[in-house]
Amino acid sequence: MQRRHFLKTAGLGAAGVAAAPFISTAKAQETITWNMVTSWPKNFPALGTGANEFAQRIETLSGGRMRVRVHGAGELVPALEVFDAVSAGTAEMGHSASYYWRGKVAASQFFTAVPFGMTTQETNAWLYYGGGQELWDEVYAKHNLKPFPVGNTTTQPGGWFKKEINSLDDLQGVKLRLPGLAGEAMNRIGVTTVNMPGSEIFTAMQTGSLDAADWVSPYNDLAFGLHQVADYYYTSAWNEPSAILEGTVNLDAWNALPDDLKAVVTEAARASNLSMISEFTFRNAQALETLVNEHDVKLRAFPEDVMQALYEASNEVIREQTENDADSKKVYDSYRAFQDTVRPSTDSGLFTYLKARANVGA
C-alpha cells in the first residue's frame, strides 16, 4: 500500500517536473505582434519594400516568435507623423528618415544626411564603430524612442529642375522640395524650400507649386515619374552624400523585449541596412540608364559659384544650430571628428582609385 502510494506520488512528481519546462517553453513561444508605420507608400520600391524586408527578417530570425505588420504612409498615420506615433506608442515601430523631425529634434538631422559630409561607408563606420549609434540612442531616449539605421539610399542627386541652372542668379526665387540641413542652406542662397511627402511631389511639380524637387535617387525618382515634370537632373550630391533611413522602436516596447529578441531586431536592422545599400547601388545604375537613354533626361552638375555658396551656407546653418542646441553640438562634434579621421584614408584609397580608373578609361 505504502509502496503503491509512493510510486503514485513519485509519478505525479515526475510529471510535474516534466511539465514545467513545457509550460515555460510554450510561454516563451508566445507570438509578439507589433505594428510598423512608415513614411513611404505601401510597397514603394526599396523604401517601402525595405521596411517589409526588415519586418520579415525579424520574423525569420525570431523563429516566428515576433511578427511585424507594416503600414504604408496614411494607413495608420500620415507620412510625416511617424516619429510622434512611435514615441506615443500608437505603433511599436517606425521606418522613415530622421531629418523630417528637425522641428521636434534639431539634432535628428545629423542622423540622415549632412551637406558635404561623409559617404555611406564612412557614415556606417561612424554609427557602428565611432560612437554615432550611442549618441543617437541618447538623443532619441528623451522622446521614448530606440533608433537604428535600417537602410541607406547612398549618394543622392541634387534634384530635378524645370530650368537649367547656369549661375547662382538662376536659383533666386526657385521653389524647391528639399528637407533637412540642406534645405535650410538652400534658403540662405535665395531658394524657397518646403518639406512634403514624396507622394505629393509629382502633382506639386505638375501644377507649378514646385519648380524643383529632391526626392531620393534614380530608382525611386523614376518610379514616381519625375522625369515627366522636369528635364534637368542635377547630379551634384552635396546635399545627401549619404542618406540613412531610420527604424525606430517605442522605448517602452523595446525595454519589454527579452534580450534575445532585442538581438534579433538589432541584427535584422543591420542586415537590412546592408541589403538596401546594395540594392540601391544596383537599381540606381539601371534606372539612370533608363532615364538618360529612354527618356532623354539631361544630367547636369551645379556650377562652381552655386557649390561654393552652398558650402558656405551649409557651414553657417550648422554653426548656428550647434551654437543654439546642445545635442546638435554634441552629435556634430562627434560626426565631424570622425569625418576628419577617416577622410585621409578615403582620399588616399577610394578617391584616388576612382580618379585613376577614370583616367585610364577602365
Q: List binding-site positions for substrate.
A: 156, 177, 214, 240
The residue written with cell numbers 516596447 in the block is 253
Instruction: Give CA–CA dist 22/360, Å, rounded.
Output: 67
| CB burial readout 163-189, b (16+ within 10 A) else e | eebeebebbeebbbbbbbbbbbbbeeb
Specify binding-site residues for Na(+): 215
Specify binding-site residues: 156, 177, 214-215, 240
Which secondary structure element, helix H or strand E, spans residue 233, and what is its range?
strand 232-234
Which cell numbers in the block locate residue 10?
Answer: 513519485
Distance of CA 128 to the CA centre of its chain: 15
Helices (H), the chain: 2-28, 47-61, 82-88, 120-129, 132-141, 180-188, 201-207, 218-223, 251-256, 259-295, 304-324, 326-346, 352-360
DSSP assignment of 264-310 equals HHHHHHHHHHHHHHHHHHHHHHHHHHHHHHHH--EEE---HHHHHHH
Helices (H), 92-163: 120-129, 132-141
Q: Cα dist. 319→140, 141, 307, 328, 339 in Å?
A: 22, 25, 18, 10, 16
